[in-house]
Structure 1
Amino acid sequence: MGTSGSRSTRRLRLAIIGSVGVPGRYGGFETLVENLATLAPGLAPDMELTIYCSARAYPQRAASFHGAKLRYLPLNANGAQSIPYDILSLAWAVLSRVDVVLVLGVSGAVAIPLFRRLGGARIVTNVDGIEWKREKWRGLSRWILRLSERLAARHSHAVIADNDHIAAHIRESYGVDCETIAYGGDHALAPEADPARLADLPAGYALSICRIEPENNVRMILEAFAQRPGVPLVLIGNWAASDYGRALRDRFGTLRHLFLLDPIYDLGQLKAIREQARFYVHGHSAGGTNPSLVEAMQFHEDILAFDCGFNRATTENGALFFQNCDDLGALIDALRAGTRGCGAGAMKEIADRRYAWSVVAQQYFRLVRRMWDEKRAGITSGPQKGYPRRADGIEKE
C-alpha cells in the first residue's frame, strides 16, 4: 500500500505493549517486538514506534532501539503483575494519542473496552495461544483468562492469531474475523555457529528444546528414547524450575545416551547444536505457532511433532506426527531404518515462505496501515464477522 500525501507530513504513531521489552532476551513476543523494531526503518519508514518495557528487566534503560522510542513501567511483565503492567501500558499509550496500539497477549484485555472508548487509538490484539486451555490453569485463573480472551476478541478493532487453528477458534467462539500472522524463525540462522557445547555431545543425536512442562509431553519423549539406547537425545530445557522437571531429570538423567541440558540462550551455541542434530522432536500440545518449532524448521529436514491442530497447521501437515510413546518410538525406528522421513526440503520451504521475519513484519505493518486508514476514514467497527483472513491474502479453507 503506498503512502498518501498526509503521511508525508506526519508519521503513523504505533505503540507496542505486552512484551518484556527490547532488546529481546528469551520469549516469542520479545523476539517479535525486536524484529518489528529492527525492520521498521526499512519496511515502514512511515511509522514512529514506541515500545513499552518492564523497568525491572532493564537496569540500564536505553531511550531508543533502532529508532523506536522506549518507555518503562516499574512492574514485571510476567506473573501476577502482568495484568496491571498491560493495563498501565495501554493507558499510557492511548493517552499519548498514538494512532494504533498493538497489544501482545490478553492479560490486560479487561481494559480494552474502556480505552477503546476513551481514546482515539485503534487497538489490535494478538491473542497468543489459547492460554486458558493450558493444564496449569484451573478454577478462577482459567475463568479470568477465558474472559480476557473474549473481551480482546470482541472489543479490539482487529484480532491477530499466530496459527490458523487459533484463528478458527476465535471465529467459532466469538463470531469475529481474525488475521493469521505467524512468528519468524530465521533469526536462529543469523549468528555464527559456536561449537563450544558440541564436545560433550555424541554424533547423530536427536534434539528437542522446550520448557519442561507436562503439556510439552517431556515424559513421553524421554520414555520413548529411554527404550532406545542406540539413539542419543539432547533435550534442552528448564529442568530446575519445577518439581516436574526435577523429578524427570532424577529419573532419566542417569541414562548415558540422554543429555538433559539446562537452558542455552546463546544463539551461536544453539545454532551449532541444531546443525549437528539428526532430527528434531517437538512435543508441544498447546499454544499456537510455537517459536521453537518454526526455528527448528529452519534447520531440520525431519521433524517429529505431537499430533495436534496447532502443529499440523504450523507444518502444513508435513511433519511426522505421534500421539503417544509407542507412536514416537515407531517413528524413531523408521527414521533409523530409512523407511520414513519428511519430504526433502519441505520444512525449510515452508519456513522460508511463512516464517521469515521480513514476511511477518510486512504483514503486521500492512495491518497497522489499514487500521490507520480506517481511523482516518471514520470507520468505527471492530473485527468483521465471518471467516478469518490470513494476512498473506490466502483464504483459510
Structure 2
Amino acid sequence: MKSVAIIGTAGIPAAYGGFETLAENLTKKLSNKLNFTVFCSSKIYDTKIKNHNNSKLRYIRLNPNGIQSILYDAISIFKSIDKDVLLILGVSGCMTLPLIKILKRRPKIITNIDGLEWKREKWGKYAKIFLKISERFACKYSDTIIADNKKIQNYVLQEYNKKATLIEYGGDHASSVSPELTNYEKPYAFSVCRIEPENNIDIMLKAFSKTNHKLMVVGNWENSKYGRELLLKYKSKKNISLLSPIYDEKRLNALRSNCSIYLHGHSAGGTNPSLVEAMWLGLPVLAFDISYNRYTTNNQALYFKNHQDLEKLLQGTSKTSFDKIARAMKATAKKRYRWDLIADKYLSIFED
C-alpha cells in the first residue's frame, strides 16, 4: 500500500477545525487502502497516543497555528520525504517545496490551499505578503492542487494558469442531539465561528438587536479587541446570548441542531466546514452574500450584505419559507457533502 503523510492539521483524534475533521475522516475511510501518518501538535494533545484509525501519529513540539505553523508544517514535510504522498493542508509550510522537488527520491505533493488566506483581515501587511508567496509556491511546486470551492478552483486557474481539482468537505459526521442539552428556549438563531471582522459578527448582532428574535453566538470573544468590544456592547441585550467556545461536540451539536435559523457570516475562504455541517443537519441558512457561500449552498439559502438586509429577512420570511430552505440545504448536502464521496475523490488522487 502507498504511504501518505497528512501535514498541516493540529492532529487527530479531531478536536476542532475543518482540516482536522478531514484528516479524521480520510484515515477512517481509507486506512485499509493506504498507510497514513498524521502529524500532530504536542501542544494540543496532552495524551499522545501512537495510533488512531489504524494510522500512525507523529508529534511536533510546536503550535500548529499562528507564526509557529510555518515551522510546524516545514518540519512535518521534511520528516515525510520517505513517504509516497504528502497531503499538505494549507500553505504555511509551502516555502519548503522547491527543496523537496530537487530530491532524487521525492514524494508526490498534493496541497489543499484552503481559502485565500492572504486576504484575511486579521493578518498584517508582512504576514499577507508571506502567505501570498506561500500560496504561489504551493501552486507552482505541488503535483496536484486541491480547491474546496468552485470559486477557488477558478482563482487558481486565472492566477497561476494551473488546473485545481475540486474536492469539498463532508458533513455527515454532524448529528442532531436532543434539545434537553441546550437549556435554551426555542426558537433561536445560532452561529459558531471565530470572532473576526471577516465573519461579520457585528452585522448579525446589530440586526438582531433591532428585533425580538433570539440569537446565540459561540466564539472566542476575548481573543481580540474586535471581539471584546462586541461582547461589551451586546452582552446586556436580553435576546442575544454570547457564549465562549464550546469544545464538547455533543453540547455544541445540541445547540446547533435545535436552532430555528443558522447564520453564516463568513466572507473569506472557500467551502466552510461549519456551513456544510449545518446544511447536513437540515437547518435553514442565512448566509453573507458572497460567491463562496452561494456556491456552497447551491444558491438556495437566503443572503444578506448588511444589517438592514438581515433585519428584513428576519422580519419578512415565513416559517414555511424557512422550512423549504432547510429541505433544500439537506438535499444539497446529501448529494455533495458525504465523507464516502469525498474520501473516494482523495483516493483517486493518491493512487494516480
For residues 361 and 340 of structure 1, what CA distance do their matches in structure 2 show?
31
One-letter amino acid of the structure 2 residue matched with residue 214 of structure 1 = P
Q: CA deviation at 1:217?
A: 0.4
For residues 273 and 39 of structure 2, what CA distance do their matches in structure 1 show?
22
Q: CA deviation at 1:196?
A: 5.5
Is 1:100 aligned to residue 82 of structure 2? Answer: no
Structure 1 gaps, min length 5 = 1-10, 371-397
Q: CA deviation at 1:37?
A: 1.1
For residues 33 and 322 of structure 2, what CA distance do their matches in structure 1 show?
49
Name the structure 1 match of 2:211: 228
Q: CA deviation at 1:335?
A: 2.0
Residues 262-288 of structure 1 deviation map (CA, whole Å, 9 limit, x = unaligned): 112222212222232111111110011
Q: Which runs of 4+ in 1 moved over 6 A?
A: none
Corresponding residue to 2:97 among 112, 116, 125: 112
TM norm structure 2: 0.96
Is 1:53 aligned to residue 37 of structure 2? Answer: no
RMSD across aligned C-alpha pairs, in angstroms? 1.6
Query: Where in structure 2 are the equivalents of 1:1-16 lying within 5 Å?
Result: 11-16=1-6
Task: Decide which moves more: 256-265 or 150-159.
Answer: 256-265
Q: Would the aligned equivalents of 2:174 and 2:281 in 1 still touch at CA under 8 Å?
A: no
Is 1:135 aligned to residue 121 of structure 2? Answer: yes
Q: CA deviation at 1:353?
A: 1.5
For residues 33 and 339 of structure 1, what CA distance do their matches in structure 2 show?
36
Name the structure 2 match of 1:275: 257
Query: Where in structure 2 are the equivalents of 1:239-254 lying within 5 Å?
Result: 239-254=221-236
Query: Where in structure 2 are the equivalents of 1:48-197 lying within 5 Å?
Result: 48-94=35-81, 97-118=82-103, 119-189=105-175, 193=177, 195=179, 197=181
TM norm structure 1: 0.85
Name the structure 2 match of 1:349: 331
Residues 216-273 of structure 1 deviation map (CA, whole Å, 9 limit, x = unaligned): 00000000000002x1111111112212111111111101111111112222212222
Q: Would the aligned equivalents of 2:279 and 2:326 in 1 still touch at CA under 8 Å?
A: no
SS at match of 1:79: coil
Task: Decide which moves more: 58-67 or 160-169.
Answer: 58-67
For residues 347 and 221 of structure 2, what CA distance do their matches in structure 1 show?
38
Q: CA deviation at 1:100?
A: 0.7
Q: CA deviation at 1:342?
A: 4.7
> Are residues 39 and 46 of structure 1, via their aligned partners in 2, closer, same or farther at CA, if it must alter by over 3 Å?
closer
Counting aligned pairs with the same residue, the percent is: 43
Residue-pair matches, total: 351
Is 1:330 aligned to residue 312 of structure 2? Answer: yes
Structure 2 gaps, min length 5 = none
